[in-house]
Chains A and B, each alone.
Chain A
Amino acid sequence: MDSTEISSPEVTDLGGAFERHLALSVVPPRWKEWKRKHWDHYRELPMPRPREQSWRFASRIDFDPGGITLPSLAEVESSFPEIVGQSDLVREQAGRLVFVDNHLADRTELPAELVEKGVVFQPLLEAMERDPDLVERYLFQESTNLGSEKFHALHNAYTEGGYLLHVPDNVEVDLPFVVHHWHAMAGAGVFPHILVVAGRNSRLSVVDVQQSWQPDREGFICAVGNVFAADGARVFRKTIQNFNPRAVSFQLDTNNVERDTTVRSINLNLGSRRARFENEVRINGSGADVKLYSLTVAKDHQEFDQRTLQIHNAPHATSDLLYKNALLDESRTIFSGLIKVAEEAQETDAYQTNRNLLLNEQAQANSLPGLEIEANDVKCSHGATTSQLDPEELFYFLQRGIPRRVAQQLMVFGFFEEVIEQFDHEELEENLRALIREQFSGDVLAQPTPGAHAEPEETPAS
Chain B
Amino acid sequence: MSQLEIRNLSASIEGQEILKNLSLAVPKGEVHALMGPNGTGKSTLAKVLAGHEDYEVTGGSVLLDGEEILGKEPDEIAHAGLFLAFQYPLEIPGVSIANFIRAALQSRLAEGEKLDAPAYYKRLHEKMDLLQIDRKFSSRALNEGFSGGEKKRCEILQMSMLEPSYCVMDETDSGLDIDALKVVANGVNLMRGPDRGILVITHYQRLLDYIVPDKVHVMYDGRIVRTGDSELAKELESRGYDWVREELAGSPA
Give residues in A with beta carbon < 8 Å to B.
390-393, 395-404, 406, 410-411, 413-415, 417, 445-448, 450-451, 453-456, 458-459, 461
A322 to B228, CA, bound (A): 60
Q: Which 7 A-B pairs give the minimum distances between C-beta atoms?
A: A414-B94, A398-B74, A401-B78, A400-B104, A398-B75, A401-B107, A448-B102
Beyond contacts A399-B86, A403-B107, A453-B139: 8 other A-B pairs, Cβ-Cβ < 8 A, are: A393-B92, A413-B95, A414-B94, A415-B93, A417-B94, A450-B95, A454-B117, A455-B138
For the complex, give the distance between the alpha carbons of A392 and B89 in Å.
10
Is the pair A402, B92 in contact by a Cβ cutoff of 8 Å? no
How many residue pairs between the two chains, A and B, have CB atoms under 8 Å in the bound complex? 107
Do residues A396 and B139 form an inter-chain contact, with CB atoms below 8 A? no
* Residues of chain B within 8 A of A400, CB atoms compared: 78, 100-101, 103-104, 107, 158, 162
Closest B residue to A453 by CB, please name it. Answer: B139
Chain B residues whose CB sits within 8 angstroms of the CB of A398 once the complex forms: 51, 73-75, 78
List of A residues within 8 angstroms of B92 by Cβ? 393, 396-397, 410-411, 414
User: In whole angstroms, how far apart are the Cα atoms of A351 and B102 in the complex?
Assistant: 37
Interface residues on B, range: 35 or more
Contacting pair A414 B139 (CB below 8 A):
no
Given that A398-B73, A458-B136 are contacting pairs, would A411 and B94 also be in contact in the complex, using a CB cutoff of 8 Å?
yes
Stretch at the interface among B16-24, B28-36, B108-116, B241-249: B108-116
Q: A400-B100, A450-B99 in contact; A455/B121 too (CB < 8 A)?
A: yes
Contact between B107 and A406, CB atoms less than 8 A apart:
yes
Contacts of A391 in B (CB 8 A): 53
Residue of A nearest to B102 (CB): A448
Option from A392, A396, A455 in Cβ contact (under 8 Å) with B98: A455
Q: Is the CB of B104 within 8 A of A401?
A: yes
CB of B78 to closest CB in A, whole Å: 4
* C-alpha gap A391/B94 in the complex (Å): 17
Residue on A with the closest CB to B74?
Answer: A398
6 contacting pairs across A/B (C-beta < 8 A) = A399-B86, A401-B108, A402-B75, A414-B95, A448-B102, A450-B99
**Which of A392, A410, A448 gathers the greatest number of chain B CB atoms within 10 Å?**
A448
Assess A414 versus B141: contact at CB under 8 Å? Given A402-B103, A402-B104.
yes
A455 touches B75 (CB 8 A): no
Interface flag for B84 (CB, 8 Å): yes
Question: C-beta contact mask, B80-92 vs A, less than 8 Å → 1, else 0?
Answer: 0001101001101
Evaluate contact between B95 and A401: CB separation under 8 angstroms. Answer: no
CB proximity of A406 to chain B, nearest CB, Å: 6
B100-153, CB < 8 A from A: 100-104, 106-108, 111-115, 117-118, 121, 125, 129, 135-136, 138-139, 141
A415 touches B94 (CB 8 A): yes
B52 in contact (CB, < 8 A): yes
Residues of B within 8 A of A406 (CB): 103, 107
CB of B79 within 8 Å of the partner chain: yes
A448 touches B115 (CB 8 A): yes
In the complex the two chains form, is B78's CB within 8 Å of A399's CB?
A: yes
- Say whether B211 faces chain A, with CB atoms less than 8 Å apart: no
CB of A445 within 8 A of CB of B117, answer no
- When C-beta atoms are compared, the residue in chain B nearest to A417 turns out to be B94
* Cβ distance B180 to chain A, nearest Cβ, rounded Å: 19
Whether A410 lies near B100 (C-beta < 8 A) is yes
Interface centre among A396, A417, A447, A461, by most chain B C-beta atoms within 10 angstroms, is A396
Residue pair A461, B95 in contact (C-beta under 8 Å)? no
Closest B residue by C-beta to A454 = B117
Verify if B233 is at the interface (C-beta below 8 Å from A): no
A410-B95, A446-B112, A448-B99 given; A458·B135 CB < 8 A: yes
